[in-house]
Amino acid sequence: VELTPGQPIWLFPADTVLEIPRLATSTGPSAITRHLPPFLSTLILETPLWEWIATLLAALFLIAVARQFDRVLRFAVRCSASRLHIERYVPWIEAVIEPLRVLLALMAFRIFIEFIKPAAIARLYIGRVAEAIFVGSVAWCLIRLVALSLNRVESRMDDARRFASRSMLHLGRRTFNTVIIILAILMVLSNWGYNTATLVAGLGVGGIAIALAAQQTIANIFGGVSVIADRPIRVGEYGKFGDLLGTLEDIGLRSTTIRTLNRTRVAVPNSTFAGYNLENYAARDKILFNPTIAIKRGTPEDRVRALVDTLRQNLEANKEIEMVPTPVRITGLGSSALNLEIFCYVLTPDINRFYVVQGDLYLAINRALDAAQIELA
């Protein structure tokens, strides 16, 4: 109302005036505050310092209780698992228990906050921290589940595949972990009221820039993935890779390592290695024996035919040889030599055994040449 023009004042009804003593008591300092030192009544975010200290002590107490509860629960799970014969599922159960334990602790903390009754601004920040802790525990649980899944996949591989795939599995684990962490951060920021759409757009632009700058690295990674997925050759196997001849030692994130016959190690980028013509000698079921013998042109024809028949009979008598329709053939005529070719397979994938059989065959050929009195050109 205005007692005088231009000077408004508040006018309260009589029943409100009668309530002033009660209102003053309810809004005044609490009994705890009246018995505490003055510095503990210092306001931080409109909340007395003693309430912040009480909140911190409550959080520490709940953490200690939760840790003890976690130990008891782990013991109970393991005892039950031994009785139910489900020991292999214990890590999975323990991974799920973690966010549940955090959730129960946060619920107890929320009940305690209702007794403390901090200011609204303090409740806002305390609630944000609690949300971040819960989302972090869920993300931690998912990371553990991903690790357990990939470890199980690796354990089901044979030794060669496990050795070749460990880099890819490591990359997959890091990729999943990064995605989970980014999603957790975005969820927390969204709950805090921040506009994450702009952040996601920025991450997309940044990702494109990184992809353009690291396209060769990405090509190497996908090259390694393609080699492991197609499995034209495995780690520890011998073969020819482009112009390189040696044993495949490792398939890494960036490069593939080959141990050459000179015992040197050659690192080939995965993108280049994936484009090679890969000849896997270890995958052979039999090995070709294909020498060419140059006979002097002046050798009588009957001796040449006798040599061909003798060599064919020797090959037929050898049980480790797979014959073709024409295992011994005349393939060329030069100015000074007549070329005689032997074409057959040694029935062994073992290169060392092949060398033994090959030596025996060369000795047999030499004996046949001496018996036919034929000289080489």
pLDDT digits (tens, 9 = 90+) for 91-147: 777 777 777 777 788 888 888 877 777 777 777 788 888 888 888 888 888 888 888
Confidence at residue 329, expressed as pLDDT on a 0 to 100 scale: 92
* Average pLDDT of the residues in 190-207: 68
- Specify the amino acid at residue 202: G
Closest CA to 137 of 174, 188, 171: 188
Evaluate whether 266 touches 257 at the Cβ level (below 8 Å). yes
On the question of pLDDT at 210 being above 70, the answer is: no
Q: What does the DSSP assignment read for 303-354? A: HHHHHHHHHHHHHHH-TTEE--S-SEEEEEE-SSEEEEEE-EEES-S-HHHH
226 φ, ψ (degrees, to nearest 5): -65, -40
Evaluate whether 76 touches 67 at the Cβ level (below 8 Å). no
> Quick one: DSSP state of residue 373?
T
| Other Cβ atoms closer than 10 A to 215 | 11
Q: How confident is the model at residue 289 (pLDDT cuts 50, 70, 90)?
A: very high
* Average pLDDT of the residues in 41-64: 78
* Average pLDDT of the residues in 4-23: 83
Closest CA to 74 of 89, 60, 88, 93: 93
On the question of pLDDT at 352 being above 70, the answer is: yes
* Average pLDDT of the residues in 49-59: 81
Confidence at residue 344, expressed as pLDDT on a 0 to 100 scale: 94
Q: How far apart are CA 197 and CA 294, in angstroms?
A: 79
Q: Alpha carbon 321 to chain centroid distance? A: 46
* Average pLDDT of the residues in 257-284: 86
Confidence at residue 165, expressed as pLDDT on a 0 to 100 scale: 57
Hey, CA dihedral for 354, 356, 357, 358, is it positive or negative?
Answer: positive
Higher-confidence residue of 97 and 258: namely: 258
Number of Cα atoms under 13 Å in the Cβ half of residue 50 = 14
CA distances for 343 relative to 86, 92, 326, angstroms? 60, 60, 8
Model confidence over 220-234: pLDDT tens digits? 666 766 666 667 777
Model confidence over 180-194: pLDDT tens digits? 888 888 888 887 777
Confidence at residue 150, expressed as pLDDT on a 0 to 100 scale: 77
